Amino acid sequence: MAATTSAAARRSLAAEAADVRFVRIHGHQVAYRSAGSGPLILLVHGIAGSSSTWTRVLPALAEHHTVIALDMLGHGASAKPRADYSVAAYANAMRDLLSVLEVERATVVGHSLGGGVAMQFAYQFPERCDRLVLVASGGLGKEVNVLLRVVSGPGSEYVLPIVLTRGLHGVIGKVSSVLNRVGLQQDPLLEEVWTSYTALTDARAQRAFVHTIRSVIDVYGQRVSARDRLYLAEEVPTLIVWGDRDGVIPVQHAHAAHELIPNSRLEVFQGVGHFLPVERPDELADLIADFVSTTEPANVSESRWQDLLTTATATPVDVDQI
């Protein structure tokens, strides 16, 4: 009976979380999904993703927490203006969203680019960050999938409108619809990739995608790294989660970050690629919930932050490797 009730509760939370809500910040529409009650967990998606990345994770976490999954500017149902799409700008936007929603602090969970944004948020606003969860995170080393490096190069903004045409999406969308009608459901991973891909048929989304890519990646790889500041994360409980078959950002980045962040926790899922929130949503949700329940939220004073910055004896980092 208890199991049945729990399943029903999850379905109810899933339905609640399916509704996209909107607020207006600095004149721009910002979309997000929210469910549950309790201490806040903020979920941050990756490049070309949206709050829907967390559809299968959010209901389980919402059983004991308030969970917010936002569409970052330039993504999902949020506005896509000609704007600053750097990780610092995204961190500022997260701070503003929490302020508008009258939330003081959050455990921040970031996937891919969202991990880099989460680290930037903790760095810029340590007083607002309870914990960090980095899921196949960007910003921890140079290596990244070659396709993203190509997109960061000159001329990609002229190629994308040709490759990402609505006509092509329409044809493949019809094939998908037929498969669903005959009972052949899509693989969740392929569904997530396809959702991200189809979102880029809009010219504004394509422009935001290219600007976002170029803010963190160039033809040589990732060009924004937090490695030289990871010693600061000693003050913030940090969980690092990766798939051992990640073809976008190598799992070696997880091990390197684990060594550089004192007292961090590392979990590597076997047989999993880059999209853990889609490939292993239940296990990921359980892991995040366990991490939150077994750690105390960070409490970093201004004086402590100053001490860390002025007296820390962090191991020197080779700038050519970050």
> Residues 278-293: pLDDT tens digits?
999 999 999 999 999 9
- Is 110 domain-assigned? yes
Q: Is 307 a catalytic residue?
A: no
Q: Domain for residue 213, yes or no? A: no
Helix, coil or strand: residue 63: coil
Examine residue 218 and state whether it is found in any structural domain, yes or no.
no
Q: Which of 65, 253, 258, 274 is labelled catalytic?
A: 274
Q: 164 with 196: CB under 8 angstroms?
A: no
Catalytic residue among 34, 50, 51, 112: 112
Is 295 a domain residue? yes
Q: What are phi and psi of 266, to 5 degrees?
A: -115, 130
φ, ψ for residue 139, nearest 5 deg:
80, 20
Q: State residue 146's pLDDT score.
A: 86
Stated pTM of the model: 0.84
The number of folded domains in the chain is 1
In a domain, 181, yes or no: no
- 21 in any annotated domain: yes
Catalytic status, residue 246:
yes
DSSP category for residue 132: E
Report the pLDDT value the prediction gives residue 250, as an integer from 0 to 100: 96
**Sign for the pseudo-dihedral over CA of 103, 109, 115, 119:** positive
Q: Is residue 69 part of a domain?
A: yes
- Surface-to-core class of residue 182, CB atoms within 10 Å of its CB (0-12 exposed, 13-18 middle, 19+ buried): exposed
Residue 288 covered by a domain:
yes
| Per annotation, catalytic residue among 65, 246, 253, 264 | 246
Residues of the chain with pLDDT under 50: 1-5, 162, 168-180, 182-187, 189-190, 314, 319-322
Residue 258 among the catalytic residues = no
The CATH number given to whatever domain includes residue 69 is 3.40.50.1820
**For residue 187, what pLDDT is reported?**
47
Range of the domain at 264: 2-142+224-300
Would you call 145 helix, strand, or coil by DSSP?
A: coil
Distance CA 123, CA 117 (A): 10
